[in-house]
Amino acid sequence: MKSLVSRCPIEEVMQLLSGRWPTLLIYYLKQGTKRFSDLRRDNPTISHKMLSLELRKLEDAGIVERTEFQGYPLRVEYELTPAGHRLVPLIDALGAWWEATSEADMQANTANGESAVAKVSRPD
């Protein structure tokens, strides 16, 4: 996010979305405003360090907005920006593509013994 001045936009989005967490967080945030601890509850396997790192990355990219409420047990809320909301359907489309592809594979593999996909497949 620093020395790479400007490359192909696809490379840049993928750098943002790569990894387990970004899309997951977007998924939960599209449900509405969430606090740090909400997001940890939503996804118990993320460490708090990762969560704050990933949230900051999304914030820097302008797809998540962070709002800090002064007060005793400090409260911070996260929500998708308009740009973030515009990203959601694109991610969903990828998920749908994957589902369709997997199903097609299944069908092809159950339909006939030698699938059309594996022509010169390596020996293994």
Scored b (16 or more CB within 10 A) or e, 8-36 reads: eeeeeeeebbeeebbbbbbeebbeeebeb
- 72 interface partner picked from a second copy, DNA, none, CB below 5 to 8 A per type: DNA
d(C-alpha 24, C-alpha 46), whole Å: 11
Closest CB 55 distance from DNA, rounded Å = 6
Q: What's the distance, CA 74 to chain centroid? A: 27
Closest CB 37 distance from a second copy, rounded Å = 18
Give the binding site for a second copy (CB under 8 A).
8-20, 22-24, 27, 61-63, 65-68, 81, 83, 86-87, 90-99, 101-102, 104-105, 117, 119-122
3 belongs to the binding site for DNA (CB under 7 A): no
